[in-house]
Copies of this chain bind each other. A is one copy, B any other.
Amino acid sequence: MNIIVEQPLLPEEVWTRIHALQLAMRQAGVSAFLVTQNVNLYYFTGSMQAGYALVPAEGDPIFYVRRSVDRARKEAAVRVEPMPSLRTFRTVLEHDYPVHFAQQAARIATEMDVLPAHQFMRLAEMIQSDGDSTLIDGSAIVRRIRMIKSAWEIGRIEAAANVVAEAMTASLGMLREGVSELELMARIEYELRIRGHVGIMRTRSYNMEIMTGMLGSGEAAAEPSAFDGPAGGRGLGPGAPQSVSRKLIQRNEPILIDVGCCVDGYVIDQTRTAVIGSLPDELAAAYAHSEAIIHEVEQLMLPGTACETIYAASLELAADAGLSSSFMGFGADQVKFLGHGIGLEVDEWPVLARGFTDLLAPGMVLAVEPKFTFPGRGVVGIENTYLITDEGPRQLTRSPEGLIILP
């Protein structure tokens, strides 16, 4: 068994990220970035301790830490200072960053896509107390930088991919008729966890939750859900209305196994379809189409191709197969994307969707998940995670493709 060993994040890597942020800030006319979210703090300092990091457009950042200062000093690649009270924070900033705070109308950016409104208001009041500065949204700047993964980040995603592949192999032996979705998922999660899965899958969108993913059989997989994905699953009741249910797995129905894990903060996403016995012809054909679509899409995943072009191509391929109405969900609950960026969070940029005009570029990592939903019958499909390279997409997910057929 491959037990993941933690790979230290090197200071040089953190500084490369900081310099990318500083360049983007200067291009956007932003004086400084006030980083507040734990994931962004980890990305830009190397430490996820509690506090705020101030990254100036020029000069060195300071991570003001509430707790633990000791741990932040061990982990962070940047200067760490104890967090002052919010009342005195502006004075401290004016002292530490006189060019950015004391002399001019500063445009300070922060993560308005995740920072709660109340906390934003308090920070805005503090920043704007000079009557001249403004606290603005810098979410897009950060999301755009985080799209491009470094070799170290790709290594962590690959480590997570290996864990998922091993956990699948270790768990599938218990898949038989009459086992519940919950029991099978519990086993997969156990196999992920002992290999180093950190136990959560981080998401960025408000109200979006992911356990280890979704495992659904037959009609339970095909139930519509709030989850912004092609198959959310029945779940364990209205208080947990997605992912596994207590349904017992039957013969001859599709079993969708959409499972990820998180290693050193980095997540992977992979889906395979299994069946005990055989799939009904229509579903078997749809599964074959999902593989055909993902292989066609691979041909398009080259640097310079627009994300929305790939999404449009997948819609055409589904239409050619006569499966438009089942593609990426059913009816009113179809989702409007084919794939999504992935890294520290499951729902990163870019998105393979209409209106996403960004061009693919080397270093982007995307999960691509063509799936077909048949209400009352099940969901079939495949999902791989790819790294974009100059030579085309490199698949990071490791489980063999093809329908998993159990006797």
Contact = CB atoms under 8 A, between A and B. Distances in A.
A161 B272 CA distance: 35
A226 B71 contact: yes
A228 B190 CA distance: 27
B182 A194 contact: yes
Nearest to A50: B226
Contacts of A121: 112, 117
A237 B264 contact: yes
Interface in A209-229: 209, 211-212, 223-226, 228
Contacts of A344: 239
A120 B48 CA distance: 26
Contact of A237 (B6, B185, B223, B226): B6
Interface in A115-172: 115-121, 137, 139
A206 B48 contact: no
A49 interface: yes
Given A193-B186, A209-B200, A225-B68, A236 B6 contact: yes
Contacts of A363: none
A96 interface: no
A37 to B, nearest CB: 7
Contacts of A187: 190
Interface of A: 3, 6, 9, 36-38, 42, 46-50, 66-71, 75, 112-121, 137, 139, 182-183, 185-187, 189-190, 193-194, 196, 198-200, 206-207, 209, 211-212, 223-226, 228, 235-241, 243-244, 246, 262, 264-266, 332-333, 344
